[in-house]
Amino acid sequence: MITTPAKSYVSNITHYASRLTPYASRITHYALRITYYVLILSTLTSCNNNEASSISFMVFGDPAEFAAYEQLVAAFTTEHPDIPIQLRHLPSQAEYRQRLATDFSAGTPPDIMLLNYRRFAEFAGQGVLEPLGPYLVGSQIIQANDFFEQTVTAFTWDGQLWCIPQNISSLVVYYNQDLFEAAGVPLPGYDWTWADFVTAAQALTLDMDGDGRQDQYGAGLEASLFRLAPFIWQNGGNLVDNPDQPTRLTLDSPESLAAFQWFVDLQIKEKVVPDAVAEAAESSESRFLNGRLAMYFNSRRGVPTYRTITQFTWDVAPLPIGRQAAGILHSDAYCLAANAADKEAAWIFIEFANSPTGQSLIATSGRTVPSLKNIADSPAFLDDQPPAHARIFLDTISVLGQVPLIPNWVRIEETAGREVERAFYGQATVEEAAATAINLTQPFFDQFQPP
């Protein structure tokens, strides 16, 4: 065996490297440029060998939601057999985003996609969406004022309407009626306050077998900026300084801090919400589903799953009211890709999906609160199925606030959300968390140039 000491091996490398150094930077630069140009070329000449005739429609959600979309597509195909729709389905939002990034980078995004209003501005700003406002104006079946104004505003950016809203959900309180009755606590009323809520939650947080660990919790909610926002608004505070041209988060204003403090006190002081360990061991939603948590904050998304509950009766209540009533908008919309091959045909599908027929179909899955005023206030949505007080979703629409439409809002929400979580589980004071959140999100605000 011939042996070569390690050091001389490395010195060989450095020897050759040093001989190349004068040229190294140039070589690297040119090599990278060439690859980059090849890349650009391939981006521009993206080969689309797929079925150009069918319109691709991409959705995400659990199997029940997917079934509803399949029904929608089937109904559309009976009415318009000449327009084939290819339905693509991803199990969760995470995979949905992965696909979108990959598809867009390949230059072949789905023709029609469902985007949340917190995310669509990034796509619109980059010019990859086709504004649907003009199509709506020319439509014979639906018009802008058929929809709830809040959803239309949510998808209006830079002066035009980009996507057609599908739903207008909001944050509500799902409660376990049986637990309330067992503890002798009055059911939540339409105008119950923060104090009422905390009292009820305290009465419903019980350690039934005396082992020092709570067996039943009064409430459960996700510690995120999106859940905190309505409470800030209810206390008279603001998320950002200027909703149309935000330059910073305003979590440090007195009203915002007070709301923030009340929010985290639910866990830290009142202990009506599972702590970090309990939440990791079993999620609040799971506890609610199994009858071990009295009140769970969620949007309309939860209804299809909750409808499978058989052991107890459940219903919804509006958010408890602070100094004023406020809620937070949740909304998704159908968006059309700018480079879709057949925009007219795609529009016909979008129009159908948001027509009274289409929205009624999706509403039967229970997943959505229809954005069409007539359908929302009809038996298609207000049917016999739980929740009995579904009307609450409609009554709260007038006080819904929305987060600002900035292209990188998601990063801001994510980053600030981690601080909210930190404060919620007692690892930082609200002042610290607010200051850090503002600090870390400042670069994202600075990146944003208003249109």
How many angstroms separate the CA atoms of 144 and 137, rounded?
7
Burial 379-395 (b: 16+ CB within 10 A, else e): ebbbeeebbebbebbbe
Asked if residue 106 binds another protein (CB under 8 A), the reply is yes
**Among the listed residues 397, 226, 201, 233, the one whose alpha carbon sits nearest the alpha carbon of residue 322:** 233
**For another protein, the closer CB: 307 or 323:** 307
DSSP letter assigned to residue 387: P
Question: Considering only residues 27-66, where is the footprint of another protein by CB under 8 A?
Answer: 32, 35-36, 38-40, 42-44, 46-47, 49-50, 62-63, 66
Nearest CA-CA partner of 421 in 220, 270, 233, 225? 225
Q: Please, what sign has the CA dihedral across residues 118, 120, 123, 124?
A: negative
CB of 37 to another protein, least distance (A): 9
CB of 309 to another protein, least distance (A): 10
> Whole-angstrom Cα distance, residue 442 to residue 412?
9
Residue 317 and residue 175 in contact, taking contact as beta carbons nearer than 8 Å: yes
Cis bond before residue 387 (omega within 30° of 0): yes
For another protein (CB under 8 A), the number of binding residues is 73
Residue nearer to another protein on the CB measure, 144 or 440: 440
Site for another protein, residues 163 to 182, rule: CB under 8 A: none
Q: Could you give the angle at which helices 63-79 and 343-353 cross, rounded to 10 degrees?
A: 120
The single residue among 105, 160, 247, 324 that binds another protein, judged by CB under 8 A, is 105
CB atoms closer than 10 angstroms to residue 357: 16
CA atoms of 357 and 20, how far apart (whole Å): 70
Largest CA distance in the chain: 87
Of 63 and 138, nearer to another protein (C-beta) is 63
For residue 415, the minimal CB distance to another protein (Å) is 8
Minimum CB separation from another protein for residue 96, in Å?
10
Taking the complex as a whole, how short is the minimal distance between the CB of residue 305 and another protein, in angstroms? 8
CA 426 to CA 428: how far, in whole Å? 6
Quick one: 39 or 187, whose CB is closer to another protein? 39
- Residue (139 or 216) nearer to another protein, CB: 216
For residues 75 and 128, which CB has a smaller minimum distance to another protein in the complex? 128
Closest contact distance (angstroms) between CB of 209 and another protein is 9
Exactly one of 144, 411, 429, 435 binds another protein (CB under 8 A); that residue is 411
Residue type, 214: Q
The secondary structure of 27-61, three-state, reads HHHHHHHHHHHHHHHHHHCCCCCCCCCCEEEEEEC
CB of 32 to another protein, least distance (A): 5
In whole angstroms, the minimum distance from the beta carbon of 295 to another protein comes to: 18
**Within positions 77 to 96, which residues make up the interface with another protein, using CB under 8 A?**
86, 88-92, 94-95
Residue window 264-293: x/- pattern of binding to another protein, with contact defined by CB under 8 A:
------------xxx-xxxx-xx--xx-x-
Name the residue nearer to another protein (CB basis): 122 or 146. Answer: 122
x/- string (CB under 8 A) for another protein, residues 199-238? Answer: ------------x-x-x-----------------------
* Site membership for another protein, residue 440 (CB under 8 A): yes
Give CA separation, 152 vs 95, 270, 286, in Å: 27, 39, 34
Binding mask 117-146 for another protein (x = CB under 8 A): -----xx--xxx------------------
- How many CB atoms sit inside 10 A of residue 210's CB? 7
Binders of another protein among residues 248 to 267 (CB under 8 A) are: none
Q: Nearer Cβ to another protein, position 78 or 310? A: 310
**Min separation Cβ 113 and another protein, Å:** 12
Q: How many residues does the chain have?
A: 451
Scan residues 333-392 and list those touching another protein (CB under 8 A). Answer: none
The yes or no reply on residue 17 touching another protein (CB under 8 A) is no
**Can you spell out the DSSP letters for 149-209?**
HHHHHHTEETTEE-SEE-B-EE-EEEEEHHHHHHHTPPPP-TT-BHHHHHHHHHHH-B-TT
Query: Residue 291, class by beta-carbon neighbours within 10 Å (0-12 exposed, 13-18 middle, 19+ buried)?
Result: middle
CB 1 → another protein: shortest distance, Å?
Answer: 5
Q: Looking at 174-182, 250-258, 263-271, 415-423, which segment touches another protein (CB under 8 A)?
A: 415-423
Please list the residues that pair with 240 across neighbouring strands.
249
Instruction: Pick from 80, 99, 307, 323 the residue near another protein by CB under 8 A.
Output: 99
